[in-house]
């Protein structure tokens, strides 16, 4: 029984901790939920693979506060995200929008893979149909020169 309780406690403690501090939380629960939804989709520019909700970096805290400030000022969710993207660039989005340059980046991997498969297929096909190399016998001059080199 004690083991089961210890395992349950360890599993509860192993969940990801949010870095949002109590002094950052908005008094309005609906507004706070909006802030959490927005900040869950924004990348910490210091940690790079964490949202600003998960990061303890000072910049992440500043971004969380900025999100809440914009919401209190009356911005919509889209306006808040647009404000932050305008200030920090599209890299701040954990899920970037599909625009011209990002579509090229997303498509580059599969396109290169298809090209590589096409080249490999062409190479194997040509190799299978290629004539076997023929051996050409050495003439007398080449045979005597080879014996000189080898030392026989």
| CA–CA dist 33, 133 (Å, integer) | 73
Domain that holds residue 113: 100-150
pLDDT tens for the chain, residues 1 to 152 = 777 666 665 555 444 445 667 667 777 888 889 988 998 889 888 887 888 888 888 888 889 899 999 999 998 999 999 999 999 888 888 887 777 677 887 888 999 999 999 999 999 999 888 888 788 888 999 999 999 999 86
| CA–CA dist 69, 36 (Å, integer) | 13
Number of domains in the chain: 2
Residues 16 and 67 in one domain: yes
Quote the pLDDT of residue 5.
65
Residues 9 and 36 in one domain: yes
- From 42, 65, 92, the end of a domain falls on 92
Structure tokens at 38: 């927005």
Residues 75 and 20 in one domain: yes
Residues 13 and 80 in one domain: yes
Residues 78 and 107 in one domain: no
Residues 12 and 76 in one domain: yes
Quote the pLDDT of residue 128.
87
Answer yes or no: are the C-beta atoms of 24 and 72 closer than 8 Å.
Answer: no
Longest dimension (CA), the chain: 100
Residues 86 and 105 in one domain: no
Residues 84 and 120 in one domain: no
- Torsion sign, CA atoms 144, 149, 151, 152: negative
Ordered DSSP codes for 122-145: HHHHHHHHSPPPPP----HHHHHH
Residues 106 and 85 in one domain: no
Residues 51 and 83 in one domain: yes
Q: List beta partners, residue 51.
A: 43
E strand segments, 8-132: none
End-to-end CA gap in the chain: 87
Quote the pLDDT of residue 4.
67
Q: Any idea what DSSP says for residue 42?
A: B
Residues 23 and 74 in one domain: yes
């Amino acid at each position: 029984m004690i083991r089961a309780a210890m395992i349950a406690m360890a599993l509860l403690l192993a969940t990801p901790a949010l870095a949002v501090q109590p002094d950052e939380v908005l008094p309005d629960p609906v507004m706070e939920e909006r802030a959490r939804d927005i900040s869950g989709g924004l990348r910490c520019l210091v940690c790079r693979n964490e949202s600003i909700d998960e990061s303890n970096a000072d910049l992440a805290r500043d971004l969380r506060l900025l999100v809440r400030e914009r919401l209190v000022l009356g911005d919509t969710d889209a306006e808040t995200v647009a404000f932050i993207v305008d200030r920090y660039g599209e890299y701040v989005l954990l899920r970037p929008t599909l625009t011209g340059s990002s579509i090229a980046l997303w498509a580059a991997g599969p396109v290169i893979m298809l090209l590589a498969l096409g080249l490999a297929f062409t190479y194997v096909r040509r190799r299978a149909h290629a004539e076997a190399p023929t051996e050409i016998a050495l003439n007398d001059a080449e045979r005597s020169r080879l014996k000189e080199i080898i030392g026989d």
